[in-house]
């Protein structure tokens, strides 16, 4: 057997790694596990430091409102912007990016809790509802026959349980919920949302994947070509592919659009280490480290690998029964705003490259930044030399762009648009989650409560520069905007770290424009009861 030789460089690196590991309170076996997982030692060191030091909360200055960070358009303006997009899209590659990795666990959480805490032999469902003060279960029971999957589950119940139709109402409801969630039958809570039955049409039942395909044809296509990208769990890709194989031909025929579908997974190297409540590395029963997915902020890497001129971002569960013309109007309008801004930004950058920019032009660019992009230069900007002024303006303008739809706040949980203190750079517009804010601070809590708008994850992005080169999106992440979350692992309390959110800290240093869009564009299915709302029910 030939001898394996290790270079001096490898030995030195190995020694340094062991030294680092020991300084973190970890072992050689931990180093092997970390290397196998693909996570860098620097990332582990940084994460352990974050747990010990904590993450500074964001400082809200005020809520973004219409006229103060949020653009409000009349209906004719939306039509005009959509028309501008249609006129200028022929040479563009349009892509729709749909994060779809997660299972539907939360969608059925209250029903899982019901099955775990209810004994059909000892209690009525009404008694359980009163005992638990459960407001969601009665809504589900009253409306369950309107759910798109009711008949398929009911037929299975009659097939599996003799004389099922003679059962009492409580027994029928109990077994319906049991079959819906049982791993031996429908197992809905363990499946990805994208493949679940969401909408009932006259001749078929449609899942979110199909609805996203239709939307591609209506607003994310140019010259009869569209690109759709799903981020999925690797184990779920086959299920996605099967549905797409079943429906894609009909969708393409109806929308007269050829749709190319691609997939990616959340990179395991973006997983983060978990710690116990004393901020020491948490260990599983077999003594190994516990890694957790880094949250949707990890998908900035997936987005970074895509090559397109305009990228639409929308959550997997935010779909609607076919009303594509209406949805398309507002998505196209956001894209029209994006393209208009991009043209002006590129013009400014090209002027700065090609000519000696004079003071008048510099002032015009400053006004453009303030009025169109909500960006103000530093107070001492006018004292800079012309060369430094141009350098500052180029740095501000040469960034990825996002135009974000915002809906009127109706109390939905999640992030919203705010003016945030931006270190020594003044104020910037950001999408902020409540977990990023110190809500024990009365002033901050009041600003958060005064939010007039909500982030529905309705983004249109441009990720190429004025030379048609792709930006490295990792360069525009606010690394200090992650989250520490408290979780439970097999009955033990732990802390986890989530990377800066995809539309939060991961895009913190992008050029950002917020636009008010109608509520019809926001129809998420966060719980199964949302499927009973008008947007998901056929007339």
Report the CATH number that the domain containing residue 229 is assigned in CATH: 3.90.550.10
Distance CA 96, CA 230 (A): 8
Range 481-492 average pLDDT = 89
Q: What is the per-residue pLDDT for 321? A: 84
Does 364 share its domain with 493?
Answer: no
> Is residue 411 predicted with pLDDT exceeding 80?
no
User: Which structure tokens are listed for 128?
Assistant: 């359980």
Q: What is the per-residue pLDDT for 413? A: 63
Nearest Cα to Cα of residue 378 among 426, 429, 428, 430: 426
Distance CA 349, CA 358 (A): 14
Distances, alpha carbon 124 to alpha carbons 105, 119, 169, 232, 428, in Å: 25, 8, 10, 40, 54
Q: What is the per-residue pLDDT for 415? A: 83
Does 121 share its domain with 184?
Answer: yes
Mean model confidence pLDDT for the chain: 92
pLDDT band at 539 (very low <50, low <70, confident <90, very high): low
> Higher confidence at residue 345 or residue 40?
345
Range 16-35 average pLDDT = 81
- CB count in 10 Å sphere of residue 174: 19
The angle subtended at Cα 458 by Cα 453 and Cα 460, nearest 5°, is 125
Does 483 share its domain with 445?
Answer: no
Residue 413 placed within a domain: no
Does 231 share its domain with 303?
Answer: yes
Regarding pTM above 0.85, the answer is yes
Residue 216 placed within a domain: no
Q: What is the per-residue pLDDT for 1? A: 37
Asked whether 421 and 61 are in contact (CB, 8 A), the reply is yes
Does 471 share its domain with 366?
Answer: no
Residue 274 placed within a domain: yes
Domain C-terminal end among 453, 474, 498: 453
Nearest Cα to Cα of residue 344 among 161, 466, 501, 449: 466
- The torsion defined by the Cα of 469, 470, 471 and 472, in degrees rounded to 10, comes to -130
Range 506-524 average pLDDT = 95
Domain C-terminal end among 190, 212, 236: 190
Distance CA 315, CA 353 (A): 38
Distance CA 362, CA 175 (A): 70
Range 308-330 average pLDDT = 91
Q: What is the per-residue pLDDT for 491? A: 86
Q: What is the per-residue pLDDT for 17? A: 66
Over the Cα atoms of the chain, what is R_g?
A: 26
- Number of domains forming the structure of the chain: 4
Lowest mean pLDDT segment, chosen from 28-37, 190-199, 203-212, 261-270? 28-37
> Is residue 20 predicted with pLDDT exceeding 80?
no
Does 156 share its domain with 120?
Answer: yes
Does 447 share its domain with 478?
Answer: no
Residue 125 placed within a domain: yes
In the 8-state DSSP scheme, what is residue 320?
A: -
User: Which structure tokens are listed for 300?
Assistant: 């900035």
Does 371 share its domain with 329?
Answer: no
User: Which structure tokens are listed for 435?
Assistant: 């977990």
Q: What is the per-residue pLDDT for 424? A: 61
The angle subtended at Cα 293 by Cα 291 and Cα 299, nearest 5°, is 145
> Higher confidence at residue 11 or residue 528?
528
Nearest Cα to Cα of residue 350 among 393, 381, 386: 393
pLDDT band at 15 (very low <50, low <70, confident <90, very high): low
User: Which structure tokens are listed for 539?
Assistant: 């007339």
Q: What is the per-residue pLDDT for 22? A: 76
- Domain of residue 168 covers 106-190
- CB count in 10 Å sphere of residue 127: 12
* Residues forming a β-bridge with 408: 453
Does 284 share its domain with 366?
Answer: no
Range 20-31 average pLDDT = 82
How many residues are recorded in the chain?
A: 539
User: Which structure tokens are listed for 143?
Assistant: 């409306």
Distance CA 404, CA 70 (A): 10
Lowest mean pLDDT segment, chosen from 47-61, 385-399, 422-436, 471-485? 422-436
Q: What is the per-residue pLDDT for 23? A: 76
> Is residue 409 predicted with pLDDT exceeding 60?
yes
Helices of type H across 190-304: 208-219, 237-255, 300-304
Does 527 share its domain with 438?
Answer: no
Range 89-97 average pLDDT = 97
Does 246 share its domain with 289?
Answer: yes
Strands (DSSP E) contained in 177-280 are 199-200, 205-206, 225-231, 258-264, 272-273
User: Which structure tokens are listed for 95?
Assistant: 């892509």
> Is residue 469 predicted with pLDDT exceeding 70?
yes
Does 230 share its domain with 92?
Answer: yes
Residue 211 placed within a domain: no
Q: What is the per-residue pLDDT for 410? A: 81
Distance CA 536, CA 198 (A): 7
Asked whether 465 and 42 are in contact (CB, 8 A), the reply is no
Range 462-483 average pLDDT = 95
Residue 58 placed within a domain: no
With a CB cutoff of 8 Å and minimum separation 6, the contacts of 46 are none
Q: What is the per-residue pLDDT for 2? A: 38
Residue 66 placed within a domain: no
The angle subtended at Cα 401 by Cα 398 and Cα 405, nearest 5°, is 160
Q: What is the per-residue pLDDT for 10? A: 45
Q: How confident is the model over 323-357, as pLDDT tens digits? A: 678 899 999 999 999 999 999 999 999 999 987 88
Range 434-438 average pLDDT = 90
Asked whether 451 and 418 are in contact (CB, 8 A), the reply is yes
Asked whether 537 and 143 are in contact (CB, 8 A), the reply is no
What is the percentage of the chain residues whose pLDDT exceeds 70? 95
Domain C-terminal end among 453, 470, 498: 453
Residue 198 placed within a domain: no
What is the bridge-based pairing of β-strands 225-231 and 94-99? Answer: parallel
Distance CA 539, CA 483 (A): 42
What is the percentage of the chain residues whose pLDDT exceeds 90? 80
Q: How confident is the model over 256-293, as pLDDT tens digits? A: 999 999 999 999 999 999 999 999 999 999 999 999 99
* Residues forming a β-bridge with 407: 454
Q: What is the per-residue pLDDT for 420? A: 95
User: Which structure tokens are listed for 431?
Assistant: 């999408």
> Is residue 3 predicted with pLDDT exceeding 50?
no
């Amino acid at each position: 057997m030939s001898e394996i030789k290790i270079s001096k460089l490898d030995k030195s690196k190995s020694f340094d790694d062991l030294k680092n590991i020991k300084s973190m309170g970890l072992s050689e076996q931990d180093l092997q596990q970390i290397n196998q997982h693909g996570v860098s030692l620097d990332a582990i060191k940084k994460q352990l430091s974050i747990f010990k030091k904590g993450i500074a909360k964001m400082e809200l200055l005020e809520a973004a409102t219409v006229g103060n960070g949020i653009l409000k358009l009349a209906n004719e303006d939306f039509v005009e912007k959509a028309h501008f997009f249609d006129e200028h899209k022929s040479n563009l590659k349009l892509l729709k990016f749909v994060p779809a990795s997660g299972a539907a666990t939360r969608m059925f959480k209250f029903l899982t809790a019901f099955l775990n805490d209810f004994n059909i032999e000892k209690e009525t469902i009404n008694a359980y509802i009163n005992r638990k003060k459960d407001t969601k279960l009665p809504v589900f029971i009253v409306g369950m026959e309107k759910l798109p999957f009711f008949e398929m589950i009911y037929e299975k119940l009659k097939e599996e349980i003799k004389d099922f139709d003679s059962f009492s109402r409580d027994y029928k409801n109990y077994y319906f919920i049991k079959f819906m969630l049982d791993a031996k039958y429908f197992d809905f809570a363990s499946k990805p949302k994208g493949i679940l039955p969401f909408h009932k049409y006259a001749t078929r039942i449609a899942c979110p994947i199909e609805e996203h395909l239709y939307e591609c044809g209506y607003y994310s296509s140019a010259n009869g070509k569209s690109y759709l990208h799903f981020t999925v769990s690797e184990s779920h890709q086959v299920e996605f592919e099967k549905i797409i194989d079943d429906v894609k031909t009909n969708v393409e025929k109806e929308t007269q659009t050829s749709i190319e579908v691609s997939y990616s997974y959340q990179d395991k190297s973006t997983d983060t280490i978990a710690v116990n409540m004393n901020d020491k590395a948490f260990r599983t029963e077999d003594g190994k480290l516990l890694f957790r997915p880094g949250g949707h902020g990890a998908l900035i890497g997936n987005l970074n690998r895509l090559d397109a001129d305009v990228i639409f971002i929308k959550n997997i569960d935010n779909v609607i029964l076919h009303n594509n013309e209406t949805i398309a109007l507002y998505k196209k309008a956001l894209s029209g705003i994006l393209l208009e801004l991009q043209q002006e930004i590129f013009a400014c950058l090209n002027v700065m490259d090609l000519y000696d920019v004079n003071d008048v032009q510099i002032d015009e660019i400053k006004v453009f930044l303030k009025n169109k992009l909500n960006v103000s230069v530093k107070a001492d900007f006018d004292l800079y030399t012309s060369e430094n002024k141009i350098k500052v303006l180029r740095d501000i303008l040469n960034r990825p762009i996002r135009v974000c739809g915002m809906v009127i706040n109706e109390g939905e949980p999640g992030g919203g648009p705010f003016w945030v203190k931006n270190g020594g750079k003044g104020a910037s517009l950001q999408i902020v989650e409540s977990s990023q804010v110190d809500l024990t601070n009365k002033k901050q809590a009041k600003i958060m409560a005064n939010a007039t708008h909500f982030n529905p994850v309705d983004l249109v992005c441009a990720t190429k520069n004025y030379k048609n080169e792709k930006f490295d999106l990792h360069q525009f992440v606010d690394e200090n905007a992650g989250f520490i979350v408290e979780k439970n692992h097999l009955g033990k309390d732990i802390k986890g770290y989530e990377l800066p959110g995809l539309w939060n800290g991961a895009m913190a240093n992008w050029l950002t424009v917020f636009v008010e869009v109608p509520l019809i564009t926001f129809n998420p299915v966060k719980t199964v009861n949302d499927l009973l709302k008008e947007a998901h029910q056929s007339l």
